[in-house]
Amino acid sequence: MNTLKSIRERRSIKYFDPNYKISEGEITTLMEHALLSPTSFNMQNWRFVLVTDPSQKTKLQAAAYGQAQVADASLTIALCANLNAHQQAERYWEKAEPKAKEMIVPMIHKFYEGKKRLQRDEAIRSIGIAAQTLMLSAKAMGFDSCPMIGFDPEKVAEIIKLPADHEIGMLLPIGKAIKPAGPRSGPIPIEEICFKEHF
């Protein structure tokens, strides 16, 4: 499936086949593509908790106000990010040419250090980009997905043992749909959204 078709056909699915199991190889393929998502300064600040154990998914379902897709999907991913990824800047540029590394690594520290809001904003941006990569990759592989913010973040954090310096952005169930999404309600007219040069 080409990218444009994946974008057109991707829908937020609420009903998954609870008996379908995504293979470990397929999960690896999904995650290898997620890791190609861009991040600021190549910080790779996203962290993914891959949940396939039925009992763990049941706990997440309870924290997501009982929504069935969390437990019924073959894989539910908690998309998180390390808020302090900038503190390990040298790691992301180990293989870069020395001149580039010498220039960029100090920039990363200076850009993010002490800026809590920027650190969180960057985390959410990175999670969003990776989520779209995962959803389109899943669709291209014949799976469906459902990005979710309908959950208690404190309870989910406890279940997945989220480190204190990490942020959770969303849950993303992925699996085989057993019921299609309803008809699209229709986008807002493009002229109300897109502007040339300025508002």
pLDDT at 73: 98
Q: What order of strands is seen across the sheet that includes strand 166-175?
A: 46-51, 75-82, 166-175, 144-145
Please state, in angstroms and as integers, the Cα–Cα distance from residue 186 to each residue in 32, 135, 149, 182, 190, following that order: 33, 20, 22, 11, 11
Over the stretch 109-120, which tens digit does the pLDDT of each residue have?
A: 999 999 999 999
Rounded CA-CA distance 27/137 in Å is: 11
Q: What is the pLDDT of residue 8?
A: 92
Q: Give the Cα separation of 92 and 85 in Å (integer).
A: 10
Please tell me the predicted confidence (pLDDT) of residue 186: 78
| Mean pLDDT over the full length of the chain | 95
Largest CA distance in the chain: 54
**pLDDT class of 185 with cuts at 50, 70, 90:** confident
Residue 126 has pLDDT above 80, yes or no: yes
**Spatial separation of the C-alpha atoms in residues 169 and 164, rounded to whole Å:** 14
For the entire predicted model, the pTM comes to: 0.94
Q: How sure is the predictor about 38, in pLDDT bands with cuts at 50, 70 and 90?
A: very high
The pLDDT of residue 190 is above 80: yes
Q: Given pLDDT bands bounded at 50, 70 and 90, which one contains residue 19?
A: very high
In DSSP terms, which residues pair with 47 in a beta bridge?
Answer: 80
pLDDT of residue 115: 96
User: Is residue 1's pLDDT more than 80?
Assistant: no
pLDDT for 2 equals: 87
Residue 9, C-beta contacts closer than 8 angstroms, at least 6 positions apart:
1, 139
Can you say how many angstroms the Cα of residue 13 is from the centroid of all Cα atoms in its chain? 16
Residue 107 near residue 115, CB atoms below 8 Å: no
Instruction: Compute the distance between CA of residue 85 and CA of residue 141 in angstroms, rounded to an integer.
Output: 31
CATH number (3.40.50.300, 3.30.70.360, 3.40.109.10, 1.10.10.10) of 3-192 reads 3.40.109.10
Question: pLDDT by residue (tens digit) across 131-168?
Answer: 999 999 999 999 999 999 999 999 999 999 999 999 99
Give domain limits for the chain.
Answer: 3-192
